[in-house]
Amino acid sequence: MGVIHKFQGDPDRFDWEGIIPKGYESKDIRGATVRWLISENEKAPYFAMRYFEVEPGGWTDLGRHAHDHGVIILRGKGKVLLGEKETEISFGDVVYVPPNELHQFKNTGDEPFGFVCVIPNKDVLSKTKGRR
């Protein structure tokens, strides 16, 4: 059975019914939260969908992963680092991050920078490990 999480926010605040924002802070991350919109909780067999929000002056981790990412920017403006190239991005822009590519998202504006990121489900990753 499908699941719907109704949007509960407004232009200043992005929230969904039944979704709790989680801190996404470490020494390599500043001012970021994540909301797991679709995950194992919804029994999604192939993918997970997350909403990240980065405060002005903040950034996500600088990292690389064995899986790819699909990203669409919903609010604010920022920069994305892909490999060694940094590019400005804003509302409506779509970013593809291939497996193992170094990447990071930074807020360069004065309002929250928010984006949806789709990744493979952990079970799919474990079943395809070594096949890439």
Q: What is the pLDDT of residues 21-80, one digit of tens each?
A: 888 767 789 999 999 999 988 999 999 999 999 999 999 999 999 999 999 999 999 999
Which residue out of 117, 119, 120, 121 is catalytically annotated? 117
Domain around 99? 22-128
1 occurs within a structural domain: no
111 occurs within a structural domain: yes
Q: Using CA atoms, how far apart are residues 67 and 128, in angstroms rounded to an integer?
A: 10
- Where in the chain does DSSP place strands (E)? 22-23, 30-38, 47-59, 69-75, 77-82, 85-90, 94-97, 103-107, 113-120
CATH for 61 = 2.60.120.10
11 occurs within a structural domain: no
Among 63-67, 97-101, 105-109, name the one with the lowest average pLDDT: 63-67
What's the structural domain count of the chain? 1
Task: State residue 126's pLDDT score.
Answer: 61
13 occurs within a structural domain: no
59 occurs within a structural domain: yes
The answer to whether residue 95 is catalytic is: no
